[in-house]
Amino acid sequence: MSDLIVPRKHRDEEGKVLSVTPESAGWEYVGFEVYELKAGETLEKATEDQEVCLVLLSGKASVKTKQANFENIGKRMNVFEKIPPYSVYVPSDDKYEVEALTDLEIAVCLAPGKGTYEARLIAPEDVGTEDRGSGSMSRKIHNILPEQKPADSLLVVEVFTPEGNWSSYPPHKHDQDNLPQESYLEETYYHKVNPAENGFAIQRVYTDDRSLDETLVVKDSNVVLVPKGYHPVSAPPGYEVYYLNVMAGPTRTWQFHNDPEHEWLFQPIKK
CATH number of the domain to which 262 belongs: 2.60.120.10
Q: Is the pLDDT of residue 56 over 70?
A: yes
Residue 271 belongs to a domain? no
pLDDT tens-digit readout, 161-211: 999 999 999 999 999 999 999 999 999 999 999 999 999 999 999 999 999
Q: Is residue 15 part of a domain?
A: yes
State the Cα–Cα distance between residues 202 and 236, nearest whole angstrom: 8
In a domain, 87, yes or no: yes
Residue 62 clears pLDDT 70, i.e. is over it: yes
Instruction: Please tell me which residue, 194 or 2, carries the higher pLDDT value.
Output: 194
Residue 81: inside a domain: yes
pLDDT score, position 268: 59
Mean pLDDT of 213-223: 96
**pTM to 2 decimals?**
0.95
- Note whether residue 77 is domain-resident: yes
Give me the pLDDT at residue 46, please: 98
Q: Tell me whether residue 100 is in a domain.
A: yes
CB 167 within 8 A of CB 233: yes
pLDDT (0 to 100) of residue 96 = 98
Residue 222 has pLDDT above 90, yes or no: yes
pLDDT number for residue 271? 43
Does the pLDDT of residue 220 top 50, yes or no?
yes
Report the distance separating Cα 42 and Cα 61, nearest Å. 9
In terms of Cα–Cα distance, which of 115, 117, 141 is closest to 129?
141
Domain region containing 81: 5-266
Residue 94 lies in a domain: yes
Mean pLDDT, residues 81-105: 98
Q: Which residues contact 32 (CB under 8 A, 6 or more apart)?
A: 18, 19, 20, 107, 108, 109, 110, 188, 190, 223, 246
- Asked if residue 158 is part of any domain, the answer here is yes
The count of domains in the chain is 1
Mean pLDDT of all residues belonging to the chain: 95
pLDDT tens, position by position, 228-262: 999 999 999 999 999 999 999 999 999 999 999 99
What phi and psi values does residue 55 have, to the nearest 5 degrees? -110, 120
Q: Is 258 exposed, middle or buried (0-12, 13-18, 19+ CB in 10 A)?
A: middle
Share of the chain above pLDDT 90, in %: 92
In angstroms, the CA 192 to CA 171 distance is 21
